[in-house]
Structure formats: structure tokens, C-alpha cells
Amino acid sequence: METIFQLIAIIAITVGTFFSIVGVLGMVRLPDVYARLHATGKVGVFGVVLLLVAAVVWTPLGWARALLLIALLMVAGPVVAHALSSAAYRIGIPMKRPVRNDLEQK
């Protein structure tokens, strides 16, 4: 049982770290504010959630706190992305090479 938990934790840490790195890479590589928020708002949250999953199965003490944090992060991540993108659009930051923009025609 102990070994299985350790295995799960190791996998979660590895994958979580990978996705956190991808989040940072996306922040650098993607072209504009809106696309970058996809990387930070979702992939970044996903990475942290996986690290917390590792904390849940690894440490016996902090599991309730970690579950609560996962729930709060899943609520907060998209809301932050939404708020930032909305603010960016309102002050008129343009998209780079948009294929289509329904909001413009409104």
C-alpha cells in the first residue's frame, strides 16, 4: 500500500512539474495576452493541482487542506484568466493575427 501511494505521488510530482514548466514556456512562446492566459490560467493551475495531489497521497497530515486548496484553485484559476482577458480587451490590447473576431462586430 505504501509503495503504491509513493508511486502515485512520484508520478503526480513528475507530471505536475512538467505541466508547470509547460505553463511558463507557454507564457514565453505564445503570441499575445489572450493566448498566454490560456497557458497560465489553465495549464499552470493543472500543474499545481497535480503537485497538491502528490501532497494528498504522500503526507498523512495535510490532505484535507490540500483538497480544499485544489477546490479553491479550480475556482480561482479560470476566474483570474477571465478577469485579466476582459480587462485587456477593454483597454484595447489587440490580438496578434486573429482569424475571426465576433466581439468586434457587436
Partner 1 sequence: MIYVWPVAVLTLIYLVLTSNFTLNNIVAGMVVAVIVLLLFRPQSGNLAWKRLPTAVLASIKYIIRLMVDLLVSGIQVARIVLSPSMPINPGIIAIPTRCESDLSRALSAHAITLTPGEMVVEISEDGIMYTHMLDVTDADEHVREAQEMRETMLKKIFE
Q: Please report how close the Cβ of residue 68 comes to partner 1 at its closest, in angstroms.
A: 6
Which of 9, 40 has the CB closer to partner 1? 40
| Cβ–Cβ < 8 Å for 50, 71 | no
Q: Looking at 9, 45, 52, 57, which residue binds partner 1 (CB under 8 A)?
A: 45
The yes or no reply on residue 102 touching partner 1 (CB under 8 A) is yes
Helix 2-29 to helix 45-58 angle, to the nearest 10 degrees? 160
Cα(13)–Cα(86) distance, rounded to whole angstroms? 33
Q: Please report how close the Cβ of residue 1 comes to partner 1 at its closest, in angstroms.
A: 23
The yes or no reply on residue 93 touching partner 1 (CB under 8 A) is no
Rg (CA), the chain: 17
